[in-house]
């Protein structure tokens, strides 16, 4: 079972910070999920939103700032005073810290055009973990596949049909990631029959977590990995 800390253990620490990632592993996650964007000067950073406002003391788009400027922002005080001074993280730092650990890594590409740099970074850091590149956009996954014919691909979805699944098979997608409230036993069974792994996202309550476990999924991206680890032990 993939127990991926969603942007780190984001229920307990500010998302997409080193504090959140380390917290996730400390709480029993066997993998980490994060989001990738680019700064003004081309540095790949870990940030979910297309603006800085919600999770830093900055404003505007990450692509409006150089990495040097982004490093000065506070990425923790919005969450709690205990995390004042926590900083944004770049992909190189993330891979240096976690790339060689025996864990799952799910890297969601939020923009088209990141694929070559991300794959180069994985090679540069000799990442040995179980990597899945994910996206909501087919065209991003197609771009990754054109550069790398073997890396694991996952597609984040809310709705899907047979025609869509056939297109994803043609790209070589091996993992379907449905929103947790769209998961059912029948849907999971049908996806697995077609050879897909199934990993749920937006598992934002213990009730949804238990529902997904009951449906027989292969993993989930979760803000509180300790709850999932406890459920799996029991």
Q: Residues with catalytic annotation?
A: 6, 48
Compute and round to an integer the Cα radius of gyration of the chain: 17
Give backbone dihedrals phi and psi of 221, rounded to 5 degrees, phi first: -100, 120
Beta bridge partners of 175: 154, 197
**Residue that has been written with the tokens 């694929």 in this structure:** 115
Structure-block tokens of residue 14: 């500010």
**Helix, strand, or coil (residue 10):** coil
Distance CA 64, CA 69 (A): 10
Distance CA 4, CA 212 (A): 14
């Amino acid at each position: 079972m993939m127990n991926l800390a969603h942007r780190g253990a984001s229920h307990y620490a500010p998302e997409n910070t080193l504090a959140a990632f380390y917290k996730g592993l400390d709480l029993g996650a066997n993998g980490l999920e994060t989001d990738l964007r680019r700064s003004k000067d081309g540095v790949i950073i870990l940030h979910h939103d297309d603006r800085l406002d919600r999770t830093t003391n900055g404003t505007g788009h990450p692509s409006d700032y150089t990495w040097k400027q982004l490093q000065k922002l506070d990425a923790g005080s919005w969450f709690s005073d205990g995390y004042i001074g926590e900083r944004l993280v770049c992909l190189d730092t993330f891979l240096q810290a976690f790339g060689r650990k025996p864990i799952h890594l799910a890297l969601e590409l939020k923009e088209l055009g990141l694929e070559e740099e991300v794959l180069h970074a994985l090679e540069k850091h000799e990442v040995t973990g179980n990597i899945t590149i994910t996206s909501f956009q087919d065209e991003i996954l197609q771009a990754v596949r054109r550069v790398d014919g073997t890396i694991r691909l996952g597609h984040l979805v809310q709705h899907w049909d047979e025609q869509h699944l056939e297109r994803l098979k043609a790209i070589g997608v091996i993992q379907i990631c449905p929103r947790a409230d769209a998961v059912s036993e029948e849907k999971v069974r049908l996806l697995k029959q077609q050879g897909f792994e199934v990993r749920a996202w937006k598992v934002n309550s213990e009730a949804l977590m238990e529902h997904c476990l009951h449906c027989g999924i292969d993993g989930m991206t979760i803000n509180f990995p300790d709850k999932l680890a406890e459920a799996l032990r029991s």
